[in-house]
Amino acid sequence: MSKPIIAVYAITKDWQLEEIKATARDYDVRVKDEIRPEDLKNIEIVYGWGSELSENIADLKQLKWIQKDTAGLDAIPESLRKDKDILLSNMSGVHAVPITENIFGYILGVARGIIPAMTSQLESKWDKSIASNMFSLKDKKVLVYGTGSIGQEIARTAKFFEMTTYGVNSNGRSIQTFDHTYTMESSQKILSDMDFVINALPLTDESELFFDKQIFANMNDSAYFLNIGRGESVKDEHLIEELEAGTLAGAYLDVTSPEPLPESSKLWQTQNLVITPHISGNVEHFRDTIYPIFKENLDSYLSNGTLAKNEYNKKKGY
């Protein structure tokens, strides 16, 4: 009988491939180009994914674990995503640090007058009045919707800058790095105290269009809104109204709906709004960043059949 196959579709470095082979001696480790149609039935583990796998699901009779090489799992057919007998893991955590760096690039940019000064600079203007709205982050309050890996990294960084951290999750359970936690509903009552409100939620029925007039109206005029979750969670017209009326100090959107944002969108020229083109999760050395996660899960899988981290929650859908 043939050895079970580990199919490597994710981009990997040579030393990484050698290490996988040395770790999984009872397996046949094959990269994408070495996998023939007759091998599909022997695949037990997939690192990454390929469209030829989606097209031949029926052949994947031995498949037990897919370690996707991205945060999103959209590329994997729904029947496999929902199959209780297949372990599924993603790379969601690897984006936590880069996304947090974007968050703080914006937060420090507005708090320390850099983003306002870039506007004065267009007019060659030395505008000292910018200083009157400047502040340090110490003791400022940040509320993060979503207390997963991204929310936790945002909170950890906020604590470095001595901010007070508030988190929102489904049942308001405590999460380390957050000083206080709330449910979606109970978070409403603290909105007016917040200096920064950040959406880091995945798109679900509950988060769709959640950030609307009611939320923005509850926020302080001097507060900032940031979205690195999904564009579909924000009611754009309401955000534009608040920013143009000056009842929100500013906003940062790394995600929009739709993407790419069309040139005709009013968002582009809305005052005190900064838009980046869904790039905050960008990781420079992607292969070096994702491989350790696969390796840790591989070690765990080989020793006891479970995954050490990043397992997809089939019930919650993220």
CB of 64 to its own copies, least distance (A): 33
Interatomic CA distance for residues 308 and 294, integer angstroms: 9
Interatomic CA distance for residues 63 and 58, integer angstroms: 10
User: Measured from the CB atom, is 6 or 261 closer to its own copies?
Assistant: 261
246: left (phi over 0), alpha (psi -120 to 50) or beta: left
CB 62 within 8 A of CB 4: yes
Could you tell me where the beta strands, DSSP code E, fall in the chain?
5-8, 28-31, 43-47, 65-67, 87-89, 141-145, 164-168, 180-182, 196-199, 224-227, 250-253, 273-275
Interatomic CA distance for residues 189 and 78, integer angstroms: 38
Q: Which residues bind its own copies (CB under 8 A)?
A: 97-98, 101-102, 104-106, 108-109, 111-115, 117-118, 120-121, 124-128, 130-131, 134-138, 157, 160-161, 252, 259-261, 263-265, 268-269, 274-280, 282-284
User: Measured from the CB atom, is 289 or 300 closer to its own copies?
Assistant: 289
Per the structure block, which two tokens stand in for 219? Answer: 């926020």
CB of 178 to its own copies, least distance (A): 18
CB of 223 to its own copies, least distance (A): 16
CB 127 within 8 A of CB 148: no
User: Measured from the CB atom, is 120 or 218 closer to its own copies?
Assistant: 120
User: Measured from the CB atom, is 4 or 105 closer to its own copies?
Assistant: 105
CB of 252 to its own copies, least distance (A): 8
User: Measured from the CB atom, is 186 or 282 closer to its own copies?
Assistant: 282
User: Measured from the CB atom, is 8 or 107 closer to its own copies?
Assistant: 107
Interatomic CA distance for residues 17 and 121, integer angstroms: 50
CB of 149 to its own copies, least distance (A): 15
CB of 8 to its own copies, least distance (A): 25
